[in-house]
A and B are shown apart, each in its own frame.
Chain A
Amino acid sequence: MTERSRSESGPAHKTLEIGMALLIGAFGLVVIFGSIKAGINWGAEGPRAGFFPFYIGAAIVGASAINLWHAQRDDDGRLFAEWGQLRQVMSVVVPTAIYVGAMPFIGLYVASMVFIAWFMRWLGGYRWLTVAAVAIGMPVLTYLVFERWFLVPLPKGPVEEWLGL
């Protein structure tokens, strides 16, 4: 990677293109490997389970190889994104990952409240009153619409159990 410390720098588009082509190609190899394990030849009942995915995997590897070649050849010096922009993106990805990871343990409602509050307070810079209104209002509304009206159960944690919902 061509990293520089200036604020308007960032990873080159070319690097990401090459990385993407390699990643997809690797995925294709995994598919080929898995297909061979499942059997790619003809069995008693016709083509076996790995027959179709094997060719799919081969096509992925082939297409990725061409994409890789293209990515290597054209370099227009474009940036993929500036570091500042990527930081913005990561500031959403990381908390969302924590939110999603916490959901099985504390339930969807509590996790959503914390997540919305965090997002609005730290990224949006809203007053606590606004934050509280949205962060509590949205899960309550969700509860009413999903669980009460449409009878779709959503994951709950210890707090909901304690409240007896």
Chain B
Amino acid sequence: MEELANLFHGFAVALQPYNIMLMVIGITLGVIIGVLPGLGGANGVAILLPLTFSMPPTSAIIMLSCIYWGALFGGAITSILFNIPGEPWSVATTFDGYPMAQQGKPGEALTAAFTSSFVGALFAVVMITLVAPLVAGFALRFGPAEKFAVYFLAFCSFVGLSKEPPFKTIAAMMMGFALAAVGLDSITGQLRLTFGVTELLNGFDFLIAVIGLFGIGEILLTMEEGLAFRGGKASINLRVVLQTWRELPAYWMTSLRSCLIGCWMGVTPAGATPASFMSYGIAKRLSRRGNNFGKGEIEGVIAPETAAHAAGTAALLPMLSLGVPGSPTAAVLLGGLLIWGLQPGPMLFVEQKEFVWGLIASMYLGNLAGLIVVLTCVPIFAAILRVPFGIIAPLILVLCAIGAYSVHNSTFDVMLMLVFGVLGYLLKKCNYPLAPLVLAIVLGDKAEEAFRQSLLGSQGSLGVFFSNGLVSTIMALGVVALFWSVIQEGYSRLRTSMA
């Protein structure tokens, strides 16, 4: 019951006029970010993070998380109307959303997408409300070995669950850890890996990496593919919305399944993209109209959108309660918390009640506000898309430069951003995943600290990671996650040989 009181207190915080204003600004900026190519949720939030330094942390996180919801909504608009996924997690939405728009049903497709997004996010928020305090209470028992085990599980899930080749995932991830290690060693106070370059004393800031890898890299990819946007008109009226809403309850089973997939994939940091693909795939296999998928089936819009939003939202649970972000954007939000002087993790629930519950309440309200904003403003956002890339691209590049500069007021960072941009382009082309790289830069120091502290306690014996039930379980789960694709393949081979 105490949680309920806290939640209502959180609503009171989130409903202050100033915070509501930030919420709407955040959603609008987020949708624009989601709609524009080259500006994703992660680097959109990273660019705008410096603007929030002067705000109170609760207001700042409300605005930033609303940018995140907005970006999640915005991705669907471009996928359905233009067959251009604005975000990687909306790729699966194009499969059926775009055909629906071609058949003259863009309104239905958009309504279905937005509503499913809302349902998915709501489901995940309810889950966070119920589970977060439990996880946080549980996590208070964590020592350094348990903490390291959680990081281990998070990173192993990337290797086992991502669709990229596992050794490329490992290479990308380890590069992130190495970049995080550059500079001052937090335990011994010794400099390392700087090779005498003074600019590297403080190491690589992950915000610069995010802006470069995701922002500049994406622009370069778009440049290569040519700039032909096929303008499309979109209109949603109340009649279409209501009619679609009447149809939607029939797909409750798909929604529920997608919510569960999304929450699971969001909490284990596989993220929204695999969640949307997995949910689409399963819906296709189980639906009675499965053969029709890909030709404009509304269920094919509901499944990926619900799962992507549930995953995107659920990714905040491990971030808040354990300090392990479930997605690159959650990682940027985590970086924000650290900058505002808040230490994410179980103690946050004890020491910063107002902040945590204000954020959770803003998730409910932000998603509701988001649904209303996108349903009413689709034509405006679609019009933004018709602004030619020749104008948008230089503006985005300038915005990225401003964002990179204002993190530390350093022009060296802006050059670093460009280097990361070219690297991001090459990595993406060669099928190396960027998300684990970014997460490793964020968590590298903390993971290393936990690892070294555990070893200090055990005098160098690795047995400390299997010393009690809790830590052994997490480590074992990590190993299972690491070899998940191998296990799956073995299982299906076994089944075919038995049959």
Contacts and interface: CB of A to CB of B under 8 A. Distances in A.
Interface of A: 16-17, 20-21, 24, 27-28, 31, 34-35, 37-39, 42-43, 45-53, 56-57, 59-60, 63-64, 66-67, 70, 80-81, 85-86, 88-89, 91-93, 96-97, 99-101, 103-104, 108, 112, 115-116, 119-120, 123-126, 134, 138-139, 142, 146, 150-155
Contact of A59 (B174, B388, B427): B174
A151 B53 CA distance: 10
> Chain B's interface: helix, strand, loop or mixed, by majority?
helix
Closest 3 CB pairs of A and B: A124-B390, A119-B394, A38-B192
Nearest to A37: B192
B429 A67 contact: no
B168 interface: yes
A139 B394 CA distance: 12
A20 B430 CA distance: 8
Q: What class of interface size applies to chain B in its complex with A?
A: 35 or more
B195 interface: yes
A139 B401 CA distance: 12
Interface string B175-213: 101100100010110111101000000000000000000
B427 A20 contact: yes
A110 to B, nearest CB: 12
9 contacts: A47-B452, A53-B177, A88-B224, A92-B220, A92-B223, A93-B418, A108-B402, A112-B398, A120-B390
Nearest to A123: B390
Given A89-B223, A125-B390, A115 B397 contact: yes
Given A49-B192, A134-B395, A67 B171 contact: yes
Contacts of B421: 93, 96
A116 B395 contact: yes
Given A60-B175, A125-B390, A34 B455 contact: no
A38 to B, nearest CB: 4
B178 A57 contact: yes
A45 B187 contact: yes
A112 B398 CA distance: 6
A46 B455 contact: yes
Contacts of B174: 28, 56, 59-60, 63
A155 B411 contact: yes
A156 to B, nearest CB: 11
A43 B394 CA distance: 51
Interface in B433-465: 448, 451-452, 455-456, 460
Given A46-B452, A96-B216, A154-B402, A35 B171 contact: no
Contact of A52 (B219, B390, B391, B451): B451
